[in-house]
Amino acid sequence: MTELAIRGLSKRFGDVAAVDGFELEIGDHELISLLGPSGCGKTTTLRCIAGFEEPTAGHILFDDRDVVGLPPENRNIGMVFQNYALFPHMTVRQNLAFGLEMRSVPKSEMAERIARVLETVQLGDLGERYPRQLSGGQQQRIALARAMVVEPSILLLDEPLANLDAKLREEMRFFVRSLQKRIGITTVYVTHDQAEAMVISDRIVVMFDGHIHQVGAPDEIYSRPVSREVANFIGLTNFVEGRVQGADAAAGECRLETAVGTLRCAYPETLDVGREVALIVRPEAISLSAAAPAESGTNAIPGRVGERYFLGNITGYRISCADDLLLQVQDDPWASFDVGDEVWCTFDAAHAWIIPD
């Protein structure tokens, strides 16, 4: 199969840099998501890989072969578009045959490969239908089948699930994921939906304003974000501003001086004393108790329950602490604190993380 390497990719539209200095190596069989808000350059990057946009600078290597300058039809890619882009004047079978005809695949082999791919996407009996006679989910799977039947070196997906309803979208995440693993094709997946990226990806590339902020596995992106933007974009986050009081890289711990007292955090690097940083802690890492914790090793912040909401699997609280600090907390659904209750928010140093600004 194919390894994909992107070196120093930049794309400018007039004065605007849509993508700037994009560096990434994507391994064989790997599924990489480009994740970010709209306008962050993820789609432009994908279109450069596909060949629909000419990069302003940089190289795109398919197995060490630079494809910049090659037209899309000579790159042997498979692409799935957000609106599926199935040819409306062709039946499902003709849609699937299109790429094979362009490659002059013999008729008998063509029929066999189409039958096989229809089987793979579990739509074996829909070959003679027209796209408009299919449901959204079926169209989506045919679009996937059409991209894969040509056995491309790279599979590119541009928000492929964005037009499906929520229930089907969640279903299709697993379908796409297992299909990609089974075929083992190198895949780049563009999405703005963080949950989708987390479920589907081996690694996630988080982008803002044309720049890569972080590349990592879903858990790494979630628990050890490198910037405020990443922390904010992926899930709910509490920020506590503070100043480094002491950092011990050997012990992997850092102490912060904050408006709500001294907080401890697991952090592997040494930071200068006095440096202004933000501590982040996820809502589910905080637990609530009525009494101050006996243990001295954990972080504890006193506060008052401002709001409470019930989501079924969790109960959420917004806790007002000193210095206008508002902590979002997600606790067991059966934990019962009422609005106005005085509570202690406690969390382990291991569940906190530091973003050096």
Partner 1 sequence: MTDPARVQSTGTARTASARPSRRRWNPTHFLVFPTVGLLVAFLVFPYLNMVVMSFRNPSTSQVFAPGFTVGNYLDAILDTDLYYLEILWDTMVLGAATTAICLALGFPVAYHLARTSSRFKSVLYAFVLSPLLVGVVVRCYGWIIILGNNDGLINTTLMDLGLIDSPMTLMYNTFGVSVGLVHIFLPFMILPLLGAIQSIDPALEEAAQSLGASRLRTMLRVVFPLSLPGVQAGTVLVFVLTISSYVIPILLGGFSVMIMPTLVVQQLMDAMLWPFGAALAFILSIAGALVVYVYFRLTSRAIRGIA
**Between 89 and 182, CB nearer to partner 1:** 89
Contacts of 190 (CB under 8 A, 6+ apart): 33, 34, 42, 43, 45, 46, 156, 157, 158, 159
The whole-angstrom separation of Cα 58 and Cα 210 is 14
Minimum Å gap between C-beta 49 and partner 1 is: 11
> In the complex with partner 1, which residue's Cβ is closer, 150 or 327?
150
Q: Which is nearer to partner 1, 98 or 208 (CB)?
A: 98
Beta partners for 31? 187
In what helix (H) or strand (E) does residue 80 lie, and over which residues does it extend?
strand 77-80
Task: Using DSSP, state whether 341 is helix, strand or coil.
Answer: coil
Least separation in angstroms between residue 77's CB and partner 1 is 6
Q: Which is nearer to partner 1, 103 or 181 (CB)?
A: 103
**DSSP assignment, residue 270?**
-
Tokens encoding 159: 């928000």
**Least distance from partner 1 to the Cβ atom of residue 103, Å:** 6
Beta bridge partners of 7: 59
Q: Shortest gap between Cβ of 129 and partner 1 (angstroms)?
A: 11
Minimal distance, residue 143 CB to partner 1, in Å: 8
Residue 34 C-beta: closest distance to partner 1, Å: 17
Q: Select 88 or 274, whichever has its Cβ closest to partner 1.
A: 88
In the complex with partner 1, which residue's Cβ is closer, 38 or 296? 38
| Beta strands at 352-356 and 299-310: parallel, antiparallel or unpaired | unpaired
Phi/psi of residue 60, nearest 5 degrees: -125, 115
The residues that touch partner 1, with contacts defined as CB under 8 A, are 50-52, 71-74, 76-79, 81-83, 85-89, 98-99, 102-103, 130, 146-147, 150, 156
d(CA 122, CA 127): 11
